[in-house]
Structure 1
Amino acid sequence: MGPNGIPLDTAAIVSTTLEGVLYGVSLFLFAVTLWVLLWRDNTVRGLVVKVSVAIALFLLSTAHMTLSVVRVIEGLVIYRDTYPGGPAAFFADVSQWTFAFKSLLWTLQTLIGDGVVIFRCYVAWDSWKAVALPIVMWFGLAVVGGMGTYITSYADENKHNIFAQENGVLATTFLVLSLMTNLSSTSLLIYRLWSIAREVARSTRQHEALEHASTSHLYTYNSVMAPLVRIFADSGLLYSATLISQLVTFVANNRGNYIILDMIMPIISITFFMVIIRVEMCSRDIRLAFMSASGTEMPTFVRPRDGRSYEEYMVEHVSLDQPPYPMKSAQRVRTIDSVVRI
Structure 2
Amino acid sequence: MTDDLISQIYECAFKPERWPGLLSDVSARLSGAGASLSITVRAEGADQAVFGDFGHFWTASPDARPIVAAMGDPRFDSPSFFDRLSRGDEPRFYGDNEVLAPGDYESLPMFRDLLIPMGLKWGAGTIFRPPTGATIVFGMRRKTEHGPFQREETQWLDLLRPHVARATLIAARLQLERAEAAAQTLAALGLPALVCDRDGAVQAANALIDENESALVWRARNHFAFRDKLADVKWRQALTSIESDACGAVRSFPVRDAAHIATRVAHVVPIRRTARDLFSQCCAALVLTPVNAAIAPPQDLVRSLFDFTRSEASVAKGLAQGQTVDDMATKSGVSANTVRSHVRAVLEKTGCSRQADVVRLLVGLTLGRADSMNEDP
Q: TM-score range by the shorter chain?
A: under 0.3
Q: What TM-score results when the alignment is normalised by the length of structure 1?
A: 0.26
Query: Per chain length, whose mean CA-contact separation is higher, i.e. which structure has more relative contact order (CA < 8 Å, sep 6+)?
Result: 1
Structure with more helix by fraction: 1
